[in-house]
Amino acid sequence: MNYSQIVQSVLQEHKQVLTDVDEREIDRLLEAITKAGCIQVFGMGRMKCAARAFIMRLMHMGFNAHIVFDTTCPSIGKGDLLIVNGACTGVSYFVMELAKKAGAEVCAITAHPESKWGKLCDFTVRLKGQVNPGTAGEIPSIQPMAALFEQTVFVFEDIVIQMLMAKTGITAEQMALRHTNLDGYMEFNKE
């Protein structure tokens, strides 16, 4: 396949995964985020990259949001929300168990809500992108391993941010005021 063919295939995969999400599950996620005292997101590997981007935007919106295991991450408990990207490793299961024990609400963004990880959750959001090639219930990908799932989690969480902006009335301009001012970004092209 050449570049153009790969682009078309990957875009079609993303469209299929993202348009197949149950909007009731998204509504439940939006509600949980807006009512949570503290939001913590867990992911491993490439799913953690998406988690970091999501947490950054939640922070820009003014939410009390953290990455699990970061040095500034507080304790979790009743009234808080844990979101797990992928929810398919032993470590993620352990984190989910501890959050449940502490009284937090637990959500997994997962291809397999029927799994033991999904069953541990208060609710799930299903993204059917390929995690393990050839596994039933997943949208197959030309990409290796869990690339499709990892990429669509990133895009899905950015879409959730836009939906939260609409729900809360928070503007991009308000979010920009919470962006770090130590990187010079806000001064870009002003000279």
Instruction: Residue 103: name the closest of 59, 55, 37, 44 by CA.
Output: 37
Tell me the backbone φ, ψ of residue 123, rounded to 5 degrees: -160, 165
In whole angstroms, give the CA distance from residue 179 to residue 175: 7
Decide if 105 is catalytic.
no
Instruction: Residue 96: name the closest of 80, 110, 83, 109 by CA.
Output: 83
Taking the CB of residue 30, how many other CB atoms lie within 10 A of it? 16
Helix (H, G, I), strand (E, B) or coil at 151: helix
Q: Kindly name the residue from 23, 150, 173, 191 that is annotated as catalytic.
A: 150
> What are the residue numbers of the active site?
150
